[in-house]
């Protein structure tokens, strides 16, 4: 168990917010209380940092704004107090081309981010859902080569069917590379980025800048792209609804899932007693 708590960082979807992307009331109450105790709070997402990402926390009705944001699964870091913004290890054009060729045997729909907007190969049901949900603009590629015209933080592939995932994961594992890593981020979504990029490197960078010991950091996550974040933090927690590989790297697993105030309940039931705190 963590001995001193100075910072909490959490993945968003499947972890910090429920299925409708709202923050549960107990989680909100506990985070507000912790921030009054000077515990810093950050969010870590696979999405790019931009106006849409910055606006999301305002809908959670917290009494404060997150102290930092990690975007692109660790490829981006923004300090909310200083405004300092950094990017790490983008994929080069020739690597993007290689990844697309790797995925070509499968029914997948590649896309990359242009800022917060998306460049798609084709529209499909999931791309339209994403556009409506995230309020971003979508542009269609004229040719597949449009995806490797310049460097990019990552490249993602929406699957034509969830049933493809086991075969795709095996295909990626059978074709390792020192230029990229690929992994599942949803049952229907695969992402590739530079192997040096993960949410953990951005957390380390923020903590180094702020002189915060990593053993005083707690991290919450639910799936594979959170693993490095959890491995970096002094105490790590996977949500009950999380994937088996993420549960395996975590120090603890919540008794409640993301629709049951899993983060708030864990903090209140385990961390507050350990710290001798009581919530008002």
| pLDDT (tens digit per residue) in 45-91 | 988 998 888 888 888 999 999 999 999 999 999 999 999 999 999 99
| Residue whose C-alpha is closest to residue 219's, from 210, 204, 208, 211 | 204
**Cβ neighbour number for residue 86 with a 10 Å cutoff:** 13
Query: What is the third-level CATH fold of 93-193?
Result: 3.30.1240
Domain range list for the chain: 7-88+197-275, 93-193
CATH number assigned to the domain with residue range 7-88+197-275, chosen from the 4 options 3.30.720.210, 3.20.20.140, 3.40.50.1000, 3.30.70.3340: 3.40.50.1000
Three-state DSSP at 28 gives: helix
CA-to-CA distance for 52 and 188, rounded, in angstroms?
23
**For 222-259, how does the pLDDT look when each residue is reduced to its tens digit (9 = 90+)?**
998 899 999 999 999 999 999 999 999 999 999 999 99
Provide the Cα torsion 122, 124, 126, 127; round to 10°: 40
Q: How far apart, in whole angstroms, are the C-alpha atoms of residue 56 and residue 59?
A: 6
The total of other beta-carbon atoms located within 10 Å of residue 237's CB is 27
Residue whose C-alpha is closest to residue 238's, from 257, 215, 210: 257
User: Quick one: DSSP state of residue 91?
Assistant: B
Contact indicator for 106, 159 with CB cutoff of 8 Å? yes
Q: 7-88+197-275 with 93-193: one CATH topology?
A: no
Cα angle for residues 49, 97, 186 (degrees, 5° grid)? 50
Q: What is the pLDDT of residue 187?
A: 87
pLDDT in tens, 93-144: 999 999 999 999 999 999 999 988 899 999 888 888 877 776 778 899 999 9
What is the spatial distance between Cα 86 and Cα 76, in angstroms, rounded to a whole number?
6
Residues 100 and 109: their CA atoms lie apart, in Å, by 10
């Amino acid at each position: 168990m963590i001995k001193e708590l100075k910072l909490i960082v959490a993945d968003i979807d499947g972890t910090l917010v429920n299925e409708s992307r709202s923050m549960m009331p107990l989680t909100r109450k506990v985070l507000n209380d912790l921030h009054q105790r000077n515990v810093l709070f950050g969010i870590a997402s696979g999405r790019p940092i931009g106006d849409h990402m910055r606006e999301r926390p305002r809908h959670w009705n917290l009494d404060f704004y997150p102290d930092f944001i990690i975007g692109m699964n660790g490829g981006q870091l923004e300090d909310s107090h200083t405004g300092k913004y950094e990017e790490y290890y983008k994929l080069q054009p020739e690597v993007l081309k290689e990844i697309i060729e790797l995925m070509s045997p499968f029914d997948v729909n590649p896309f990359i981010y242009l800022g917060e907007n998306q460049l798609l190969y084709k529209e499909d049901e999931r791309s339209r859902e994403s556009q409506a949900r995230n309020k971003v603009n979508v542009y269609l590629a004229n040719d597949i080569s449009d995806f490797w015209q310049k460097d990019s933080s990552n490249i993602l592939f929406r699957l034509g069917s969830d049933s493809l995932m086991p075969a795709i994961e095996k295909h990626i594992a059978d074709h390792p590379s020192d230029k990229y890593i690929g992994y599942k981020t949803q049952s229907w979504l695969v992402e590739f980025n530079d192997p040096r990029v993960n949410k953990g490197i951005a957390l380390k960078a923020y903590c180094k800048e702020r002189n915060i010991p990593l053993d005083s950091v707690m991290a919450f996550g639910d799936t594979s792209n959170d693993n490095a974040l959890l491995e970096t933090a002094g105490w790590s927690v996977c949500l009950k609804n999380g994937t088996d590989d993420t549960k395996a790297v975590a120090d603890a697993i919540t008794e409640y899932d993301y629709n049951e105030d899993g983060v708030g309940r864990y903090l209140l039931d385990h961390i507050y007693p350990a710290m001798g705190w009581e919530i008002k």
